[in-house]
Chain A
Amino acid sequence: MTRPGARLRSLASRLLDPSSMERLIDPVIADLQCEHAEAVRHGRPWRARWVRVASFIAFCKVAAVALFAGNRRGARAIAVALSAAAPLTALAICAVLASTAATIHSRGNMVWLVLYLVPQALTITLPVCLALGLFVWIRGDGVDRSARRTVLWLMRLALLLAVANTGWITPAANTAFRNVNAGAALPRGPNELTFIELGRRVYQGSPETGLDGPLPMAFWFNARLSLAIAPVLLCVLALAGAASRRRRPAAVVVVTTLAAFVACYVLIPDYDIVALMRWLPATAIAWLPNGLVMVAALSVATNQRSG
């Protein structure tokens, strides 16, 4: 069995330099292991659990300080990402509430209804704010080995969170939203189906429920897939923009593309997508925002080479 804190230490060693590990992280982990072993030896399991939780919080604080100590650009990147996250999340929630205002019956549960919309809003704001933060962080600076490792970890983490959120958390929250609003358990539409259920509908042709709306299941399935991998593509855009020597034009392209990406998901209603289906297949429409991001990333990278 691994000692408490061993995994945290291993994670921190990938992100931090040896001096920070020795001075900041190792003392936290060593004290945790000692205190935990003492609680276990005295037969106090709840104390041992509390030690784990308190030490985990201490570890997070120390690791955050170690990551950004003397790194004002990093602190600025976090501030920019967080200050963009709040209004973007609010915008995404307001857009859904505005489009469903006529169907909201349970205004007494408004706080719960808004909370249930947060996961759906995060599917968009999380990758956008991560990309914005990365762009601010490494813009104009050479990316050293430690920063490269941090970026790779952040991308993996964001991808994992996005898959879990778009695939399972958001459908569960949407189901809760509809049920609280109606005051009863309702049959689920495409926004309430998990990845696997949507995939089954698309490839095995399960019977339609009548709640599927005007857009085909293939659209919903591909839209969900494209949202799940959006963090990686947006991070690629941010990295391309940050690496560019033509700082101002690159910044304009990155920020405009991020705004357009948000607008694609937040401001375009279903009936506009239906209208677009006259010219493009539903699957292609679902991947359009990601396509836009890739084109922007390529244009920034190409301009960098020719500039």
Chain B
Amino acid sequence: MSTRSTVPTLPPKEALILELLVQESELYGLQLVAASKGRLKRGTVYVTLGRMEEKGFIASRLEDAPPEAGGLPRRIYEVTAFGRRVLSAYEHVVRHLTPEPAR
């Protein structure tokens, strides 16, 4: 049996979002884009967040927009306990299974 299929993988964007949410606890989509320093784009972040929510890595709730701004309620995202475990497993795998450079 191939060992490749048994190693857990996490797409880089999802790993980055989990890392940012672990650091900041709660963020809006745009705040994630700003915090990623160009690694996340506003055109893709919402799709990735939606997919991660379906997987159970993150949870979200609606928060009323500031009264001076008005408009639709904003969706704010936080990492779930499962998401934290996935991230820590991913980091463990990256630390221990990444091949060492040839000497």
A contacts, CB < 8 Å to B: 3, 9, 23-24, 26-31, 33-35, 37-38, 41, 54-55, 57-58, 60-62, 65-66, 69
Question: B53 within 8 Å of A by Cβ?
Answer: yes
Question: B100 within 8 Å of A by Cβ?
Answer: no
Nearest chain A residue, comparing its CB with the CB of B53: A23
Could you show 7 A-B contacts with beta carbons less than 8 Å apart? A3-B71, A24-B47, A24-B50, A30-B71, A31-B30, A34-B30, A57-B43
The tally of residues in B whose CB lies under 8 Å from a CB in A reads 22
Q: Give Cα distance in the complex from A58 to B47, angstroms.
A: 10
Q: A23-B53, A33-B65 are in contact. Are A54 and B71 (CB under 8 A)?
A: no
- The answer on a CB contact under 8 Å between B50 and A54 is no
Q: Give Cα distance in the complex from A289 to B46, angstroms.
A: 45
Chain A residues contacting B74 (CB-CB under 8 Å) are 27, 30-31, 34
- The answer on a CB contact under 8 Å between A27 and B75 is yes
B contacts, CB < 8 Å to A: 28-30, 41-44, 46-47, 49-50, 53, 65-66, 68-75
- The answer on a CB contact under 8 Å between B65 and A27 is no
Chain B residues contacting A55 (CB-CB under 8 Å) are 42
- The answer on a CB contact under 8 Å between A31 and B28 is yes
Q: Give Cα distance in the complex from A24 to B71, angstroms.
A: 16
Query: What's the minimum C-beta distance from B36 to chain A, rounded to whole angstroms?
Result: 14
- The answer on a CB contact under 8 Å between B72 and A33 is yes
- The answer on a CB contact under 8 Å between A37 and B69 is yes
What 4 A-B pairs have minimum CB-CB distances, sorted nearest first? A33-B71, A61-B43, A37-B69, A30-B72
